[in-house]
Structure 1
Amino acid sequence: MRIRVLGSAAGGGFPQWNCNSPRCVEARSGRLVGERRTQSSIALSGDDRHWLLVNASPDIRQQIIDNPPLYPRGAIRSSGIAAVLLVDSQVDHVTGLIMLRESREPLPVYCSPRVEEDLRTGFPLLEMLRHYCGTQVRPLPLDGRSVEPAETPGVRVTPVPLTSKPPPYSPHRDDPKPGDNIGLVIDSRDSGRRAFYAPGLGAVEPHLKPWLESADVILVDGTTWTDDEMERVVGGTKTAREMGHLPLTGAGGMLEILDAYPGARRILIHINNTNPVLDPDSAERARLRELGIEVAHDGMEIEL
């Protein structure tokens, strides 16, 4: 089983198109050019030919260009992407579906019933795609059952509900329910190894701990270093926790949580452009190295 990181940044990417913070300026023209990142997405494959795209980032076109395993194969119109799975209906995780509209076959889309409802009402991408390639929506269970997509042999995932609000456009914005946001437990049949993936993690609730304890790889939310980072750096009005993300530091932060799982390979993904860990020479990145925690980058490959 292979996990390929297509995009490792939070919404807006790094650098963000309208951000003139010092870190974004350096990512455009200075010493952080090599740290540029597209918006969060991974792909899974059990045979290196058929890939399950997990989240369709607005940057999907560039991500396909940068990842040869996703190139067309065989037929004139074809793709290494065999199916799509959505962990939520956030704009930075679903907008890329529009770029896949030229598929010759209806796109298999795995998502929770709550996400499907959002994508048929508040942001009706699924309805729009009916006029192009169409979709075949496959509902994800939220009761601990695993899913083995027929389109991607050897891939097995277990959806795990996470506490989170639906997106601002959702009719259910103020009425969060299970299925608005999920994490994935990714199992390799061949090796017996397991990964836990959650790019949007606002709280580690008791039902998540057994999954984390059994994981060989933990690939989780690293959006901000501090809870008040957005306000301090770019004048934001919400804390990381208010946006549904655990900050890395502070009481109950992600670093404290990851400290309980030293035997796993621990990797941070969904990194916001304000986060100092994007600078490899920063004190914050040095602290992560001391703790044995990695920062995901576009093109990173993880073998289970």
Structure 2
Amino acid sequence: MRIRVLGSSAGGGFPQWNCNCPNCDGLRRGSIRAQARTQSSIAVTVDGTDWLLVNASPDVLTQIRAAPELQPARAQRDSGIAAVLLMDAQIDHVTGLLMLRERQSPLPLLATPEVLGDLTEGFPITRILSHYCGVTPTPLRLDGDFMAVPELPGMAIRPVLLSSKPPPYSPFRNCPRPGDNIGLLLENPATGQRVFYAPGLGEMTPALLDLMAQCSVVLVDGTFWTEDEMQRLGLSKKSAAEMGHLPQSGPQGMIAQLDTLPAATRKILIHINNTNPILREDSPERALLTAHGIEVAFDGMDIVF
């Protein structure tokens, strides 16, 4: 099985269109060592032709153009995207669904009932798409078992409940429900290897760490370096925790949590906010990650397991 990282940035991308923080300004001026990134999404395949798109970023058309594998050209109108799975209902993970409206048949859409509800009422993308290609919703089971994806034979997935927040437009923003945000466990039946993907992760638990310890690769939340990152830069009044993210630094931060995993586990950060100093390839923060054996995802990264 293979994962292609289509986008590795948090919402807004890098550089963010209206942001002049040191990172965004430096990238535009060419004064820092960093590379542009689109908003976070991955694609997963078993056979190299049919793909599961995990989160539909607003940048999805750019991401498809950068990944020729997603356009196998088997017919006059065609796509390698066989189905879409949503981790949450955040704007930067679902808006790209609108860009897939020219599809010739209803789009298979896998999501929790909570996410499907937000996308029917609060941000009614599914109702909008009913006037175009339409969607075929498949509610994700949260019973702890692996499930098949009918459109992708040989793929085994297991949604994992996470602690985080639904999007600001959701009426449940301040009273989160199980199912508002999930992680995704992928298993290759041929090798038994597993990958855990969680671009939004607000809290680590012993059960979650046990699950991650059984994986060959973990691809997890890299949004902020510090708890007060956005506040210190004057860009928001909210902390990382209030936004539903676990920062990398600090005694209980992501670095400390990932350090408890087996040495053989490949550890990668994704969903990196434009303010995060780890985007600078020669920063002390990036060097610290490297010293801890932690990688930073980039657009076009391939993971085979």
The residue aligned with 1:288 is 289
For residues 236-256 of structure 1, give each alpha carbon's deviation from its aligned partner in whole angstroms, at most 9, with x where no partner exists.
111111111000001210000
The residue aligned with 1:236 is 236
For residues 18-49 of structure 1, give each alpha carbon's deviation from its aligned partner in whole angstroms, at most 9, with x where no partner exists.
00112101222304475100000000001101
Alignment of 1:164 onto 2:159:
no
- Aligned counterparts of 2:147 and 2:44: Cα–Cα separation in 1: 13
- Aligned counterparts of 1:112 and 1:104: Cα–Cα separation in 2: 25
The residue aligned with 2:302 is 301
Amino acid at match of 1:111: A
Give secondary structure in 2 for the equivalent of 1:242.
Answer: helix
Q: How does 1:1-80 map to 2 (within 5 A)?
A: 1-32=1-32, 35-80=35-80
Contact in 2 for aligned 1:4/1:44 (Cα 8 Å): yes
The residue aligned with 1:225 is 225
The residue aligned with 2:275 is 274
Contact in 2 for aligned 1:50/1:153 (Cα 8 Å): no
* 1:210 shift after superposition: 2.4
For residues 102-124 of structure 1, give each alpha carbon's deviation from its aligned partner in whole angstroms, at most 9, with x where no partner exists.
00010000000000000000000
Alignment of 1:191 onto 2:214:
no
Number of paired residues? 304
The residue aligned with 2:265 is 264
- Aligned counterparts of 1:58 and 1:150: Cα–Cα separation in 2: 26
Amino acid at match of 1:201: L
* 1:142 shift after superposition: 0.7
Identity %: 57
- Aligned counterparts of 1:70 and 1:114: Cα–Cα separation in 2: 29
* 1:72 shift after superposition: 4.4
- Aligned counterparts of 2:32 and 2:68: Cα–Cα separation in 1: 25
TM-score by length of 1: 0.98
After superposition, the CA RMSD in angstroms is 1.1
Q: Which runs of 5+ in 1 are unaligned?
A: none
Contact in 2 for aligned 1:266/1:293 (Cα 8 Å): yes
Change (3 A) 1:33 1:123: farther
Change (3 A) 1:32 1:6: farther
More displaced 10-residue stretch of structure 1: 259-268 or 55-64: 259-268
* 1:232 shift after superposition: 1.4
Contact in 2 for aligned 1:277/1:284 (Cα 8 Å): yes
Contact in 2 for aligned 1:224/1:272 (Cα 8 Å): yes
More displaced 10-residue stretch of structure 1: 130-139 or 261-270: 261-270
